[in-house]
Amino acid sequence: MKTSLIFLTLNEVKSLEEMYNQVPNKESFHEILLVDGGSKDGTIELAEKLGMKVVRQKESGRGRGFYEGMLAAEGDILIYFSPDGNEDPREIPLMIKKIEDGYDMVIASRFMSQSESKDVTFIRKIGNKSYSVLTNLVFGTRLKDAVNGFRAIRKDMMQKLDVQSKRFDIEMEMTVKVLKLKGKITEVPTTEPERIEGQSRLRTFYDGWLIYKRFLKSLKYKEK
């Protein structure tokens, strides 16, 4: 199976090269894409220098980056990765292995017993865990981190989801819709380091409310 590694960026020039260099076995990927939401700091130019294929988003927002990355990717497996320093690329080979073993989606979990997060605030930790509890209650799953964006998914599954999210509700939409389609989801433990530069663009209470609304909307999803 061919794998597309998709970097999602918005003004990440200070961390991009360091995170790119940490990706193991780069030669094994069919392609490494950079899907950019409108960087003005040299991120795009650096990506081109590093040999990455650059996709400039037609619509702004994290959710549209996931969608447009899927449209542009040629691989059978899509790995979504944010190079701000919060995600550990050393988990990628195991995520690919899980997809090859038959799972439809693999989430890098910050809250498994072997996991650690050095960046999540107390309020966000409570919120993130509540999303997983809600998902588990509805679907009978045992997910620990239903909304972490560092994840792998089969492209043919992603194509079925008809994702509508524009912001940070994209991960909840993907998780719920995969489960609605009876897809197989697993998790791998990850360590979330402190971000290298800048601050999270997630607005805790605004995006938290969007995620809950997206959960309810996605419960009504039926494959077209």
Q: What is the DSSP letter of 220?
A: T
> Domain range for residue 186?
3-218
| 86 — pLDDT class (breaks 50, 70, 90) | confident
Q: Which of 23-32, 75-84, 91-100, 114-123 has the lowest mean pLDDT?
A: 114-123
Question: Is the residue at 48 inside a domain?
Answer: yes
Distance CA 23, CA 83 (A): 10
Question: Is the residue at 42 inside a domain?
Answer: yes
Distance CA 34, CA 31 (A): 10
Mean pLDDT of the chain: 91
The total of structural domains in the chain comes to 1
Q: What is the DSSP letter of 178?
A: H
**pTM across the whole model:** 0.92
Q: Hey, is 169 helix, strand or coil?
A: coil
Distance CA 14, CA 46 (A): 10
| 114 — pLDDT class (breaks 50, 70, 90) | confident
- CATH number of residue 95's parent domain: 3.90.550.10
Segment 31-71, tens digit of pLDDT: 999 999 999 999 999 999 999 999 999 999 999 999 999 99
DSSP 39-76: --SSHHHHHHHTTPEEEE-SS-SHHHHHHHHHHH--SS
